[in-house]
Amino acid sequence: MADLQGRLLLALKEKSIINSEDLAREWQEDHQKIVGAIKSLQTHYGIINAEPINTTRWQLTDEGDVVAKYGSHEARVYNAVPQQGITRDELLKSVPQYGEIGFSKAMQEKWIEINNQKVYRKIDRIDDKIQSMLKKVLTGNINDLSDEQKTECKKRKLINEGKMTVYKVSKGEMFTLDIERLETELTPEMIANGSWRDKKFKPYDMDALGIPPDAGHLHPLLKVRTEYRQIFLEMGFTEMPTNNFIESSFWNFDALFQPQQHPARDAHDTFFISEPRDANINMIPNDYLQCVKKVHSEGGYGSQGYKYDWKIEDSTKNILRTHTTAVSARMLYKLAQEREFKPVKYFSIDRVFRNETTDSTHLAEFHQIEGLVADRGLTLGNLMGVINEFFKKLGLTKLRFKPTYNPYTEPSMEIFSFHDGLKKWVEVGNSGVFRPEMLLPMGLPEDVSVIAWGLSLERPTMIKYKIQDIRTLIGPRVDLQMVYNNPLCRVEKAAI
């Protein structure tokens, strides 16, 4: 290398302007090596000026390299045929990887023939034109090739047109033939003996990426979860225990006044458990169970009910919970059993399951964020107020509410936020006031209202980190590079 640098400087001294490609041909050197020498000379300030010129050039492919070095595949096959003949299989072994192509080309050229299942040479000598063509390309004499020859080489994928940067090099203002050896790093010895004062140091390339330090990484979805969790805690919400993936249909549906013929309870929407198939019926307090049965089938608490035949068998079926609202129902029931009602604010962020086939926007497992407030005399205005504060902490200030239907809330509102990027209103959550048919059977006082809202964790995460395919975010196909690269999560700094 150092030698090449010296030769380059000598050449410059004579010619004052040189072209890296010409030099490579003249010296029969690899062009990349010349470029390397130019680059390292550039690190010394002012010795040379080098101007990059982008061009396209015919160059050898990896396969072309092999041919230029060892001969065409057909020639190698021909050369491997001994006087006494050889089996085809044996022959193919002599030209690894390209044996098949070489064999069929050699047959086409009528260089070899098959007799009694053995391969023999058909002619005495051959002329490996392909190899000589490629050698010309290698030495930069591609113009010696006819257009047909070029096309043939291209068709056989031996050459292709690639980008190449050629350098025009001229003398710099401090041109010299003697290059001083530059120090790369400051060492403890230099500091101790002060020798750093007399040394010259190689300049740093400040445009380089640098070496990333070894580091651990948290998963982006869970970083976003941490942020949401923090927001709830800042707002005085207590975390609900959601550490149960399996739930009985009773808590997941019936307790929420969701009728037993509701489409969400179909096997094609919900994962049912075959083992253990049924929840222990004694786990559900019997008096509460009877109240739920009554309000579903006959009504009560001021309600007409759904007027259908409510079945206990349907409510004990175990399922993978389809929403964390099942946990909210358990918590509210527990609250109702307290001797004196105390207002609460609860939240949870956890995984829920839907029996869906997965695609780029759907998974069978995802995370649900849920918040609720239970107090005396809460209004719809309070629900909108608390949702407003919540989304403000997420950086969303333009909110709008749309009437919607949920089986267990009335009134119900979808929450929309104006997306500055998409220039339209997008749905960011769902909310409502839990129905009296859900709360009164639990035993909560009549003047207690429970307001609640929910959203998915995946959607904001995908928008924030610009993830197109949800399957690269969760599950075995997680893109680890994405996890390594993903930045800090400050939800309020990015529009959802």
Partner 1 sequence: MPTIEVKKDLLFKALGRKYSFEEFDELGFEFGLEAEEPEEEEILQNPDLANVWKIEIPANRYDLLCIEGISRALLVFLEQKQCPRYTTVKPQKLQQMKILPATKQVRPHGVAAVLRNIKFTPDSYRSFIDLQDKLHHNLCRRRTLVAIGTHDLDTIQGPFIYDAKPPKDIKFKPLSQAKEFTAPEMMEMYSLDSHLKPYLPIIRDKPVYPVIYDRNNVVLSMPPIINGDHSKITLDTRNVFIESTATDLNKAKIVLDTLVTMFSEYCDQPFTVEPVEVTHSDGSVHLYPELPYRYEEVDVEDVNKKVGISISAENMSNLLTKMLEHVIHPCDVIEDVAIAYGYNKIVKKIPATSTIADQFPVNKLTDLLRQEVACAGFTEVLTFALCSRDDVATKMRKNIKDSNAVHIANPKTLEFQIGRTTLLPGVLKTISNNKNMPLPLKLLPFLDVMLVIIVQSEQGYYIKSCKDATYFEGRCAEIIFNNSVIGKIGVLHPEVLKEFELTNPCSCMEFSIEPFL
Q: Going edge to edge, which strands form the sheet with 48-60?
A: 17-19, 159-171, 48-60
Asked if 263 is part of the footprint of partner 1 (rule: CB under 8 A), the reply reads: yes
Tokens of 55: 């061009």
Residue 154 makes CB contacts below 8 A (sequence gap 6+) with 160
Q: Which residue has the tokens 């997680």?
A: 478
Closest approach, Cβ 83 to partner 1, in A, equals 45
Stretch that binds partner 1, among 70-78, 134-142, 280-288, 297-305 (CB under 8 A): 297-305
- In contact, 442 and 374? CB cutoff 8 Å: no
Q: Which of 178, 185, 214, 340 binds partner 1 (CB under 8 A)?
A: 214
- In contact, 79 and 71? CB cutoff 8 Å: yes
Stretch that binds partner 1, among 2-10, 16-24, 85-93, 429-437 (CB under 8 A): 429-437
Closest approach, Cβ 38 to partner 1, in A, equals 31
Beta bridge partners of 165: 54
Closest CA to 137 of 124, 122, 153: 153
Q: Which of 25, 39, 129, 277 binds partner 1 (CB under 8 A)?
A: 277
Stretch that binds partner 1, among 22-30, 78-86, 176-184, 476-484 (CB under 8 A): 476-484
Nearer to partner 1, 80 or 231 (CB): 231
Please count the CA atoms within 13 angstroms of the CA of 363 that sit on its side-chain side.
21
**Is it true that the peptide bond before 82 is cis, omega within 30 degrees of 0?**
no
Asked if 408 is part of the footprint of partner 1 (rule: CB under 8 A), the reply reads: no
Nearer to partner 1, 192 or 480 (CB): 480
52, 135, 167 from 141: Cα distances, Å: 22, 9, 19
Stretch that binds partner 1, among 86-94, 160-168, 193-201, 397-405 (CB under 8 A): 397-405
Asked if 61 is part of the footprint of partner 1 (rule: CB under 8 A), the reply reads: no
Q: Which of 15, 219, 419, 459 binds partner 1 (CB under 8 A)?
A: 219
Q: Which of 175, 196, 272, 341 binds partner 1 (CB under 8 A)?
A: 272
Q: Which of 62, 124, 207, 275 binds partner 1 (CB under 8 A)?
A: 275
Q: Which of 381, 466, 487, 493 binds partner 1 (CB under 8 A)?
A: 381
Closest approach, Cβ 241 to partner 1, in A, equals 5
Asked if 243 is part of the footprint of partner 1 (rule: CB under 8 A), the reply reads: yes
- In contact, 412 and 404? CB cutoff 8 Å: yes
Asked if 233 is part of the footprint of partner 1 (rule: CB under 8 A), the reply reads: yes
Alpha-carbon distance 399 to 350, whole Å?
25
Nearer to partner 1, 101 or 380 (CB): 380
CA 339 and chain centroid, separation:
51
Stretch that binds partner 1, among 40-48, 54-62, 329-337, 406-414 (CB under 8 A): 406-414
Residues 140-179 that bind partner 1 (CB under 8 A): none
Asked if 224 is part of the footprint of partner 1 (rule: CB under 8 A), the reply reads: no
- In contact, 346 and 238? CB cutoff 8 Å: yes
Contact track, partner 1, 344-373, x by CB under 8 A:
xx-----x-x-xxxx-----xx-------x
Nearer to partner 1, 73 or 223 (CB): 223
Nearer to partner 1, 29 or 365 (CB): 365
Closest approach, Cβ 346 to partner 1, in A, equals 9
Closest approach, Cβ 286 to partner 1, in A, equals 25
Q: Which of 69, 202, 477, 490 binds partner 1 (CB under 8 A)?
A: 477
Asked if 302 is part of the footprint of partner 1 (rule: CB under 8 A), the reply reads: yes
- In contact, 326 and 252? CB cutoff 8 Å: yes
Nearer to partner 1, 36 or 305 (CB): 305
Q: Which of 35, 435, 448, 455 binds partner 1 (CB under 8 A)?
A: 435
Nearer to partner 1, 11 or 482 (CB): 482
Stretch that binds partner 1, among 129-137, 265-273, 282-290, 329-337 (CB under 8 A): 265-273
CA 221 and chain centroid, separation:
12
Q: Which residue has the tokens 């008096």?
A: 287
Asked if 404 is part of the footprint of partner 1 (rule: CB under 8 A), the reply reads: yes
Stretch that binds partner 1, among 72-80, 135-143, 286-294, 377-385 (CB under 8 A): 377-385
Size of the site for partner 1 (CB under 8 A): 97
Q: Reduce the DSSP state of residue 57 to 3 states and report it.
A: strand
Could you report how far apart the first and last alpha carbons of the chain are, in Å?
54
Closest CA to 402 of 373, 435, 372, 427: 427
- In contact, 94 and 80? CB cutoff 8 Å: yes
Residues 111-130 that bind partner 1 (CB under 8 A): none
> Largest Cα–Cα distance of the chain, in whole Å?
108
Q: Reduce the DSSP state of residue 286 to 3 states and report it.
A: helix
Alpha-carbon distance 496 to 494, whole Å?
6
DSSP state of 475: S
Asked if 39 is part of the footprint of partner 1 (rule: CB under 8 A), the reply reads: no
Asked if 209 is part of the footprint of partner 1 (rule: CB under 8 A), the reply reads: no
Q: Is 167 exposed, middle or buried (0-12, 13-18, 19+ CB in 10 A)?
A: buried
Q: Is 240 exposed, middle or buried (0-12, 13-18, 19+ CB in 10 A)?
A: buried
- In contact, 68 and 159? CB cutoff 8 Å: no
